[in-house]
Amino acid sequence: MCFNFQINKESNQMKKLIFAGLCLSLSTLACAGAKESLVGKRLVLDLPDTECAGLSFAKNGKDAAMYAEMGQCQDPLPLRVKWLDDKTFILIEKVRTNNISPPRSYLYKVQSVNQHYVKLTQIWTGWGDSKDDTLGYYFK
């Protein structure tokens, strides 16, 4: 009897330990922020017949590139990334095109992200009253 009680007690402690470890692992995954989810990833626009257009984020978290569908994914626009908070970032053109114009910039807010898909809202920062644009991207 004493022996069985000892085994059951150790078994319950082991179950509690495994459960605590599982909870910690799941909470860590759930708390992964948008920034961590995008760094080092390639995003392709979720539009019909789109294979290339989208964004890629370097593993250093500071550089990115924007791809157009034209040109077979060649010559992406090099950008730098500035994170304003965990869900909001600016992509700023790296290469100066002329001496009088400021760099182009693109302001984004992450609406949702999971392991396969992300929804980004591009916040309009140009002239006029254009609306913000929300688009989906899948991870490639």
**Co-location of 26 and 69 in the same domain:** no
pLDDT score at 1: 47
pTM exceeding the 0.85 threshold for the entire prediction: no
pLDDT tens-digit map of 53-105: 999 999 999 999 999 987 667 789 999 999 999 999 999 999 998 999 999 99
Q: How far, in Å, CA of 75 to CA of 140, rounded?
A: 18
Tokens of 85: 């908070």
**Co-location of 44 and 25 in the same domain:** no
**Co-location of 51 and 79 in the same domain:** yes
Helix (H) or strand (E) holding 9: helix 2-31
Range of the domain at 73: 33-139
**Co-location of 37 and 6 in the same domain:** no
**Co-location of 103 and 47 in the same domain:** yes
**Co-location of 17 and 40 in the same domain:** no
Three-class SS state of 70? coil
| Residues pairing with 58 in the sheet | none
**Co-location of 12 and 42 in the same domain:** no
